[in-house]
C-alpha cells in the first residue's frame, strides 16, 4: 500500500539546529516509497536533504546535532529517544509536527 502523493510533516528547528540550517521550520514530504515511515528513519532523511540543499558541512553539523537531540511529536516528547528500537516502532504520519529538541538551557 503506498502513501497518497501529498503526505507531509512539519519539522520544527530550535537553537543550534535552526542556526545551522538558517530556518526555524519546514514542511517536507514523507518519501512515498517508504511507507510506513518511522521516526528512526527521520534523522537520515533530514541529513540527506540538507546535505543536498546546503552541502556536506551543514549536513554533518546537522547529524551531530540530531545525535544529541530528542524528538517531539505534536508537542509531546518522545520518551526513551535513545532507544533506536522504540523509534523504529513510532510511525511518522501525514500532518504531524515533529520537533528537534536540542539539549535545553532554560532557567
Tell me if 105 contacts other proteins by CB under 8 A: yes
What number of chain residues touch other proteins (CB under 8 A)?
Answer: 22
- Please identify, among the stretches 7-15, 43-51, 56-64, 84-92, the one whose residues bind other proteins according to the rule CB under 8 A: 7-15
Q: How would you classify the pairing of strands 97-101 and 76-77?
A: unpaired
Q: Where in 65-104 is the site for other proteins (CB under 8 A)? A: 72, 75-77, 99, 101-104
Give the Å distances, CA to CA, from 91 to 23, 40, 71, 107.
Answer: 25, 9, 13, 33
| Residues 26 and 10: beta-carbon distance below 8 Å | yes
Q: How would you classify the pairing of strands 70-73 and 76-77?
A: antiparallel
CB of 21 to other proteins, least distance (A): 10
| Residues 30 and 19: beta-carbon distance below 8 Å | no
Closest CA to 16 of 76, 67, 62: 62
CB of 107 to other proteins, least distance (A): 4
- Please identify, among the stretches 11-19, 34-42, 43-51, 87-95, the one whose residues bind other proteins according to the rule CB under 8 A: 11-19
* Chain contacts with other proteins (rule: CB under 8 A): 12-16, 18-19, 22, 24-25, 72, 75-77, 99, 101-107
Amino acid at each position: 500500500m503506498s502513501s497518497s502523493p501529498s503526505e507531509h510533516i512539519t519539522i520544527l528547528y530550535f537553537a543550534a539546529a535552526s542556526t545551522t540550517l538558517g530556518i526555524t521550520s519546514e514542511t517536507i514530504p514523507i518519501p512515498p516509497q517508504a511507507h510506513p515511515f518511522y521516526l528512526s528513519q527521520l534523522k537520515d532523511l533530514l541529513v540527506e536533504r540538507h546535505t543536498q540543499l546546503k552541502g556536506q558541512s551543514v549536513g554533518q553539523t546537522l547529524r551531530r546535532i540530531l545525535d544529541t537531540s530528542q524528538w517531539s511529536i505534536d508537542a509531546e516528547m518522545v520518551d526513551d529517544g535513545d532507544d533506536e528500537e522504540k523509534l523504529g516502532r513510532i510511525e511518522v504520519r501525514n500532518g504531524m509536527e515533529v520537533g528537534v529538541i536540542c539539549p535545553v538551557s532554560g532557567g
